[in-house]
Structure 1
């Protein structure tokens, strides 16, 4: 028997896909997102996610802080950064013009890795705020320290490429 949990979900369309009036070829079927799939399995997921949301907007608004302070959640689910990196249609700015013989990696400009590093730092900021404001104290400081070190290491590695 699977143990059920209560969680807060903050993020973008991975957690809150709009109800489409037409059938679309989406994995899992139209109108399927991670929150709905977890709810179908009996978990209680309170969602404050919105399709199209950016990690930048989530960090700025901090809506999750109030929710975490007022309710006892077993988990805080967070997704984002796709709209930050790809939503504006500016991916082309991070790519070199095609050169025969170059690998895919060689076509990516340093600016893309800088954007990815900025997203990692936003994740870190949001996770730290969530831990500081959560009524659930099962999160260990060693887990946070490990997460923080991992994000900082990843961010510096991406920028130095």
Structure 2
């Protein structure tokens, strides 16, 4: 719906620009939401909020569903590994994926990530969450190893 013109016929005032920020951990570009606090070291407030919203259903189901609990844990360790300044959470991620120590781990985070929580959230309407989380976790592990796409 177009903006209404003022009574004097002048053009309507422009909409304020949408402020965005890049998450320092995963690089996702997200709208800035005033009032949010960063609750995860290495993540922007918007990225942390998007993660919370994306896994909300899993959190609700986890107490009574072991598969949901395992998937929530995998999502959490993938998120931690992607927002950590070192590779410490990668070992937990690889254990959750059943990879063990077969891949090397960089001594610093990758400069770019194949998949972020923003990608997972964007595809929720067309792909099953369990598939998205597993794919995301595998991509994070591969990115920490320096594997080519």
Could you tell me the TM-score, scaled by structure 1's length?
Answer: 0.26
Which one scores higher on RCO, CA 8 angstroms, separation ≥ 6?
A: 1
Question: Going by fraction, where is strand more abundant, 1 or 2?
Answer: 1
